[in-house]
Each structure stands twice: as structure tokens, then as C-alpha cells.
């Protein structure tokens, strides 16, 4: 089986792709792609970027946690990522007495670094094309998923053997190709530095997804290993990782036109989808997400503003909800503004004309749009209810969401499993219960649950769970009374009750919160999802053929695969842009802009006193530019999406110049269609990072550990 290089039938040779668009596979760089990078200023060879046998840039890049990117920046395993990527782990250490969220956290020695149970980082160790093995035995659409899942399970089991590695097999190009990725996973990752809220979260919801920005979006961790340098669970005897490769930090500063490269793990794009997908996002999915999350955030804000303890508990949760809330607002707006639906229709019409120019093409592609249209005739009816069932239903109130973890043990009780088996599962749930209630506020959750159930009942008229339908009809759509009584009775809002239940578990069917959860899940699983699967059987083959046909038709286009949280490389330059008529944005922001936005006491725009003092004195040291300014953020033409948060911005010499953390408002449609003129990546300047470490945190122990290029 060939390693690294993808099937010639599926990968079109790189011809004339734009320098900024594209999430390229770093293990397959060659030809014009590398030439364009070098023309823009890249001095690295393909092997210096990615090599399985020798240290390369890829050895400094990690999957951080469940959905971000990080990079090694020192010989001893120091790991840089975004503030919002590490926020939940900082929050777990924070208390009212030691408010690391507001005040920041700085470790002045390795002994002060804080362990984070559950946090992992994964290093890519091997890549292999396994398409033929995965598709072996696939004969029809009805059994395709079942056969593929069985093949993947078999391949992973065979390749893993007794080794302590993680193996994933991921589809590319709408399931036309499958690639296997092997990772070494490290489980002892300790918190080293977190800036104060007024740096790391500066601008919060108001500035999110917009330019200009003024944010120090970073956290620093350290990876530890056992004494043999291998991955290990946390132990006081573990030692700092000896980095196979790490990124030196260049503080010479960026200029317009400078080369910028990003390596990381972009989460998800859908740039080869049909007009039906775009229409669904505009008319169904985005509005549903916006409505549900606006409702949730309003309740969060009410309680968080009233109580600092609640603020600490919910800071990370609120950030997670609000990030995708504003993303959905921007995506819907920009899909319309950038005419993405019309552009998709034009592409599909071009494809139809190309197909019907050749009888042999008609045999292969002639009826695929009939299949896709039939698929979406089903999906158009269920997509909005599916979103509400997810956002306002089982992921809505926290007690509802938490109760899902008890489905297994309740099934065991109903099936009359042995006491020993039940006790073992209950023991595992005890630790989860402690963790859940540490950051839980009953009053907040009750208000959230009431508001979301009211919304779900009001906004959808099909596929409403029976229990919700009956309660809503009885109470004129107001769930206040029912939720209040449910919270008085349920074990899932009271730690003492739940711990007592875990000591002697009994059936949960009469618990009102659990009954509600099961009603929502049963509606989704037994009513809605079967329709979703039926639609897939009808139309997924057509969408795979459409992808294949586009690649045959557009021979001049380089088809990089959609993002799927596998390692990618993007390249571009530092550039300004025109956001709208008479709106021209510079390519960088300064500390003067931070001070201009300052609002005393405001949770989004307050600034710590010591930071204000340093800024007023213009005490920027060696990190000031030639004008004496401190550059905070800059923008590049690189192509990124969610999952790239925390990715390094690297210059042509392979040195860190910044930290990617966001996209811009005008290009919020970019996950569906890249916006060549306005799409930008927002980055924190490396000089601002080091200034925060040296001047604000005064962690000279960290500064001395870094390799700084002046």
C-alpha cells in the first residue's frame, strides 16, 4: 500500500491555484505548489516542512484537546495555543480566591505548572492511503456505510496491534478517498501561562470574527513524558518533553507582502457542496442556531453579570456557545452578501452543460442532480427540527445534557444486568458527577431550560417530542411550572441526591429530566434520523459523483480536500483589504487601539491596571517597531477555519511570527466558498506575545527558554 502520496485519479496536479486559497496536504507538497510558496518567500524544502523520517515542521504541530491546534516553541516541550482553546482548563483551576480567568496565571518554575486531567495533545506519526482497503466489498449504496465501517474497524485493529497509538481513517473528496492517520498521544499536559482576561479575551463577543482586533489570544502549556521520553499519564516523576522540533520566535516584525505559512488542523469546510446545502444554511440551519444560542446566551449573561462565582463557572461555557452563535450570524449574512447560492447554481449549470456535451459523461453523471434533489426534498423538511432538537433539546439545559451519560446504566438496570456490572459503571459516573457539579449553577440552568423548551415548542411545528408537545399544549407553551417542579424532583440537579442514587442505582424512567431527555433522543433517533439516513442513501452517491465530475471537468483547478481536522498547510502574505465601500483596513493594529477601546469595568473591554501603566509609559522594550509602537495583531491572506485556532504563523525561514486565532466578518461565508478579495486570517503578533510574557507576566524563566530571533 502506498504511503503519503494520494491516488493520481483523485488528486489533480497543482497548476495555477491562488497563493492564499487552499488547505494543502503537507505530506504531498510538490510541483507548482512549492514553487509558488518559494516565489512568495518560503526558503524551506518540502522535506523541512514534512518528513516522516527526519525532524521537520510537522513535529512541532499538534492537535490540541478536542478541536484546536498547538505548537512547540522550546526544546523542553513548551506548547503555545490560543487563549480560547485552553480556557476551559484554566477555568477548572480558577476560584473566587484565585481567579486565574480575570487575573491570569503565570508559572515561575516548572514546579508551579498545573496538571490538566483529560487534556491531550497528538503528534502526527504516519500517513497512508487506504482507499482500496476501505472500499473493498462495497457494492451498493444501501450497505455502503456498514461495509466501510467494518473495513475501517478491521484495518485499525490490524495496524494498531499492541501499540499505544491512536489511528483514524478519514474520508476525503466526499468519500472518494480514505487516508489513515496515526498519532502519538500525550496525556500529561500542564498549564504554564494564561494572560489576564483583559488581554486574552479582549473584545470578547463584540469583536469576535471581526477586524480590526486587539487581542492577546494565547495560553502556554508544557508537554511531559515518562523518563524514557514516551507518552504517559500524569505523574510527579514525569519530565518535560524533549522536543523533536520546535519553532524559534522571530521578533523582527512583519511587513506588507511578507510570506506567511500556517500549519494546523482545520476542522470542517464544505466548498464542493451543492446549492441545496447553501440554501439550507441560509434558510434553516443558521437561523435555528442563532435563535437557540441567542436565547441561551441571554440567560447566561443575566446570571454571570450578577455573581462572580457564576461568571467563573460559566466563562468557558459562555465562550463556547457565543463563538458559534456569532459565526452563524456572520455566515448567514455573508452567504447572502457574497451571492454564494447564485454562484453555486452557476457552477451546477456549467457542470450540466459539460455532462451533456458527451454521451459517455451522460451515462455516468446524467441523473445525479435528480438524486440530489430527491435527497433534499426529504432534508428540507427535517433539517430545522434536527437543529432545534440538538441545540434546544439534548444539548440545551445542562441537566438534560448531563443525564444522557446515564442512559447506559439505566439500560443495564432495565435489562437486569448483574450488580457487579452496574456497580462498576456507577463508580465511573461518580467522578463525572463531581466534575459536573463543580461548575454547575442550578438557578441558571433552570432559566436556560425553561427558555429553550419554550423556544423549541414555539419555533417548530413538526417532529416535536411527544412529552414536550403535551406539556406545551397544557401550559400554553410556557414550561416554567413544569421545569420548576422537575428541578425540585430530579436527581440530576442535586449532587447529594445523585451521589446517593449512585450508591444504590435504580431505574431512572420516572425522573422528569431523564424522561425528557429520552423523549427528545427517541424522537431524534427513531423518527427524524431514519429520514436523514434515507435521504443519504438516495443522494450521497450523486454528491460523490458530482465531486468526481467536477475534478474531471475543471482540469485547471487544484482540488485541495475539504478540511476534516487533519494536518494542513496554507500559504499567503501579509496584506490589508477593502472591507466595504470607503472602508479600507490596514494590515496591523497597535497597543494604541487597545487603549482606545478601553471601557472601565466592562467585561469585554476592561484592561488590567499594570497593562494600562505600561501602555501609557510606552514601555515596549525590544518589542516595539521602528515607530515605537507595539504591534498587537496582523492579518494575512491565509486560508483557515475552526480547528486552526492556535496554529502557528510561520515565516519563510520556519520561524514563528504570530499565532492564528480568527477569521474576518466579510468572509464568514468562506467555509462554503473562499472569498478571494476579502478573506483574511487574524493573527496575534509574536512581539505582543513576548511583551505579555516579559512585561506583564514577568516570566523571565519562560523568556529564557525560548529561541528568539532579533
Instruction: State the CB neighbour count (10 A cutoff) for residue 115.
Output: 17
Q: Look at strands 708-709 and 249-250 and give their pairing.
A: parallel
Helix (H, G, I), strand (E, B) or coil at 79: strand
Active site residue 243: no
Round to whole Å and give the CA distance between 542 and 548.
10
Beta-carbon count within 10 A of 684 CB? 29
User: Would residue 645 show up in a list of annotated catalytic residues for this protein?
Assistant: yes
What SS3 state is found at 21? coil
Closest CA to 518 of 355, 393, 605, 424: 393
SS3 660: strand
Beta carbons of 457 and 388 less than 8 angstroms apart: no
Instruction: Give, for 608, the enclosing helix (H) or strand (E).
Output: none
Burial of 494 (0-12, 13-18, 19+ CB in 10 A): middle
Closest CA to 505 of 392, 583, 427: 427
Q: Assess contact for 191 and 113: CB atoms under 8 A.
A: yes
- Catalytic pick from 84, 214, 245, 303? 84
Q: Which of 322, 645, 647, 669 is catalytic?
A: 645
DSSP for 311-330, written as a single string: HHHHHHHHHHHHHHHHHHHH
Residue 224: partners with Cβ closer than 8 Å, 6 or more residues away:
77, 186, 188, 189, 190, 232, 234, 238, 239, 240, 241
Coil vs helix vs strand at 166 = strand
Could you check whether the bond before residue 106 is cis, i.e. omega within 30 degrees of 0? no
Q: Are 325 and 293 in contact (CB under 8 A)?
A: yes
Annotation says 303 is catalytic:
no
Per-residue burial over 9-31, b if 16 or more Cβ lie within 10 Å, else e, is: ebbbebeebebbbbbbbbbbbee
Counting Cα atoms < 13 Å in the Cβ hemisphere of 571 gives 25
Decide if 224 contacts 695 (C-beta within 8 A). Answer: no
Contacts of 447 (CB under 8 A, 6+ apart): 299, 302, 303
Helices first, then strands: H and E counts in the chain? 27, 22
Q: Could you tell me if 516 and 336 are in contact, meaning their C-beta atoms sit under 8 angstroms apart?
A: no
Residue 213 half-sphere exposure toward CB, CA atoms < 13 A:
31
Q: Give CA–CA dist 201/186, Å, rounded.
A: 27
Q: Which residues are catalytic?
A: 84, 217, 645
Amino acid at each position: 500500500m502506498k504511503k503519503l502520496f494520494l491516488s493520481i485519479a483523485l488528486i489533480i496536479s497543482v497548476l495555477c491555484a491562488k497563493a492564499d486559497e487552499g488547505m494543502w496536504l503537507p505530506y504531498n507538497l510538490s510541483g507548482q505548489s512549492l514553487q509558488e510558496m518559494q516565489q512568495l518567500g518560503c526558503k524551506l524544502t518540502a522535506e523541512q516542512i514534512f518528513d516522516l523520517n527526519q525532524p521537520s515542521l510537522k513535529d512541532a504541530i499538534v492537535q490540541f484537546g478536542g478541536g484546536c491546534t498547538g505548537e512547540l516553541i522550546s526544546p523542553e516541550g513548551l506548547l503555545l495555543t490560543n487563549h480560547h482553546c485552553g480556557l476551559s482548563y484554566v477555568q477548572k483551576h480558577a476560584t473566587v480566591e484565585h481567579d486565574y480567568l480575570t487575573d491570569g496565571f503565570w508559572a515561575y518554575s516548572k514546579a508551579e505548572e498545573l496538571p490538566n486531567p483529560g487534556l491531550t495533545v497528538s503528534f502526527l506519526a504516519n500517513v497512508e492511503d487506504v482507499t482500496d482497503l476501505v472500499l473493498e466489498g462495497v457494492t451498493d449504496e444501501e450497505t455502503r456505510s456498514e461495509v466501510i465501517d467494518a473495513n475501517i474497524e478491521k484495518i485499525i485493529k490490524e495496524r494498531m496491534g499492541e501499540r499505544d497509538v491512536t489511528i483514524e481513517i478519514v474520508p476525503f473528496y466526499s468519500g472518494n478517498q480514505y487516508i489513515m492517520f496515526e498519532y502519538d498521544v500525550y496525556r500529561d499536559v500542564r498549564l504554564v501561562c494564561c494572560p489576564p482576561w483583559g488581554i486574552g479575551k479582549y473584545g470578547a463577543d463584540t469583536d469576535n470574527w471581526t477586524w480590526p482586533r486587539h487581542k492577546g489570544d494565547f495560553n502556554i502549556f508544557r508537554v511531559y513524558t515518562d523518563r524514557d521520553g514516551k507518552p504517559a499519564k500524569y505523574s510527579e516523576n514525569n519530565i518535560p518533553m524533549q522536543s523533536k522540533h520546535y519553532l524559534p520566535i522571530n521578533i523582527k516584525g512583519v511587513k506588507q507582502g511578507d510570506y506567511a505559512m500556517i500549519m494546523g488542523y482545520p476542522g470542517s469546510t464544505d466548498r464542493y457542496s451543492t446549492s441545496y446545502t447553501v440554501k439550507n444554511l441560509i434558510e434553516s440551519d443558521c437561523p435555528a442556531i442563532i435563535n437557540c444560542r441567542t436565547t441561551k446566551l441571554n440567560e447566561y449573561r443575566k446570571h454571570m453579570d450578577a455573581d462572580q462565582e457564576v461568571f467563573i463557572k460559566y466563562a468557558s461555557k459562555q465562550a463556547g456557545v457565543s463563538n458559534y452563535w456569532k459565526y452563524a450570524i456572520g455566515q448567514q449574512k455573508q452567504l447572502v452578501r457574497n451571492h454564494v447560492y447564485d454562484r453555486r447554481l452557476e457552477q451546477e449549470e456549467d457542470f450540466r452543460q459539460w455532462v451533456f456535451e458527451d454521451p459517455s459523461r451522460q451515462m455516468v453523471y446524467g441523473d445525479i442532480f435528480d438524486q440530489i434533489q430527491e435527497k433534499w426534498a426529504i432534508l428540507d423538511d427535517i433539517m430545522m427540527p434536527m437543529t432545534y432538537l440538538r441545540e434546544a433539546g439534548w444539548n440545551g439545559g445542562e441537566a438534560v445534557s448531563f443525564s444522557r451519560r446515564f442512559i447506559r446504566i439505566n439500560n443495564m438496570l432495565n435489562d437486569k444486568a448483574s450488580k457487579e456490572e452496574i456497580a462498576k459503571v456507577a463508580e465511573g459516573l461518580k467522578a463525572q458527577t463531581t466534575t459536573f457539579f463543580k461548575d454547575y449553577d442550578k438557578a441558571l440552568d433552570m432559566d436556560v431550560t425553561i427558555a429553550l423548551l419554550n423556544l423549541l415548542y414555539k419555533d417548530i411545528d413538526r417532529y416535536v417530542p411527544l412529552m414536550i408537545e403535551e406539556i406545551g399544549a397544557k401550559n400554553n407553551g410556557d414550561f416554567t411550572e413544569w421545569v420548576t417542579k422537575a428541578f425540585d424532583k430530579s436527581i440530576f440537579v442535586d449532587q447529594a441526591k445523585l451521589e446517593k442514587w449512585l450508591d444504590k442505582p435504580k431505574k431512572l424512567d420516572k425522573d422528569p429530566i431523564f424522561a425528557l431527555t429520552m423523549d427528545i433522543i427517541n424522537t431524534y433517533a427513531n423518527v427524524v434520523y431514519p429520514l436523514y439516513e434515507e435521504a443519504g442513501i438516495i443522494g450521497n452517491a450523486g454528491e460523490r459523483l458530482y465531486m468526481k465530475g467536477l475534478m474531471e471537468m475543471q482540469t485547471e483547478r487544484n482540488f485541495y480536500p475539504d478540511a476534516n481536522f487533519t494536518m494542513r498547510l496554507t500559504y499567503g502574505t501579509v496584506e490589508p483589504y477593502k472591507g466595504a465601500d470607503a472602508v479600507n483596513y490596514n494590515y496591523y493594529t497597535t497597543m494604541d487601539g487597545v487603549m482606545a477601546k478601553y471601557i472601565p469595568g466592562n467585561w469585554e473591554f476592561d484592561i488590567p491596571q499594570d497593562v494600562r501603566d505600561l501602555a501609557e509609559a510606552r514601555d515596549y522594550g525590544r518589542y516595539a517597531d521602528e515607530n515605537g509602537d507595539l504591534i498587537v495583531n496582523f492579518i494575512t491572506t491565509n486560508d483557515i477555519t475552526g480547528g486552526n485556532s492556535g496554529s502557528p504563523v510561520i515565516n519563510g525561514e520556519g520561524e514563528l511570527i504570530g499565532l492564528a486565532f480568527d477569521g474576518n466578518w466579510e468572509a464568514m461565508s468562506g467555509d462554503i466558498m473562499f472569498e478571494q478579495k476579502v478573506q483574511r486570517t487574524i493573527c496575534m503578533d509574536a512581539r505582543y506575545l513576548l511583551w505579555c510574557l516579559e512585561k506583564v507576566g514577568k516570566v523571565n524563566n519562560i523568556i529564557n527558554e525560548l529561541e528568539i530571533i532579533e
